[in-house]
């Protein structure tokens, strides 16, 4: 009640931020804010992810699902390659345990926070979509 009555006495004091109208002027996002999960690329534009599935194992509620393919290198060795990195933003608790568990520095939490959707299916994201071959992108649709 004190806050209500003080606004009557001091009408110039604004208690509520006008969002989204004043987004650029009043919005402050702390540096350590943990928003949406993001895959990091190396200097060549390739993903740093090695498909080790440590992040999938560390996730407490099954937000991350990694699909892996095995390929044979020209040297004759078998190698695991990331096929699909599926991230369910609707189930994520933003705990960043996946980022902490990654030994290769392939994951980060970015400041993206405007993720509201009317359809939950739009919150399921394919994080490595840009790095798929063109024929694989058609399969995903």
**pLDDT value at residue 96:** 92
Question: Which 8-state DSSP code applies to residue 58?
Answer: H
Of 70 and 133, the structure prediction assigns the larger pLDDT to 70
Max CA separation in the chain (angstroms)? 79
Cα 8 versus chain centre, distance: 43
**pLDDT value at residue 13:** 61
Confidence of residue 141 (pLDDT cuts 50, 70, 90): very low
Dihedral angle computed from the Cα positions of residues 126, 104, 107 and 47, in that order, rounded to the nearest 10 degrees: -40
Long-range contacts of 56-62 (CB under 8 A, 24+ apart): 56/98, 57/101, 58/97, 58/98, 58/100, 58/101, 59/97, 59/98, 60/93, 60/95, 60/97, 61/91, 61/92, 61/93, 62/88, 62/91
Q: Which two tokens stand for residue 87?
A: 């991230």
């Amino acid at each position: 009640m004190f806050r209500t009555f003080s606004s009557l006495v001091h009408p110039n004091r604004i208690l509520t931020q006008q969002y989204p109208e004043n987004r650029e002027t009043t919005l402050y996002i702390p540096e350590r804010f943990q928003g949406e999960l993001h895959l990091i690329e190396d200097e060549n534009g390739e993903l740093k992810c090695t498909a080790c599935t440590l992040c999938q194992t560390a996730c407490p509620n099954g937000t991350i699902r990694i699909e892996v393919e095995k390929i044979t290198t020209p040297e004759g060795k078998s190698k695991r390659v990331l096929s699909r990195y599926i991230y369910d933003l609707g189930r994520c608790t933003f705990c960043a345990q996946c980022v902490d568990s990654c030994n290769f520095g392939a994951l980060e939490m970015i400041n993206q926070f405007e993720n509201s959707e009317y359809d939950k299916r739009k919150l399921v994201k394919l994080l490595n979509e840009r790095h798929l071959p063109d024929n694989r992108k058609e399969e995903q649709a």
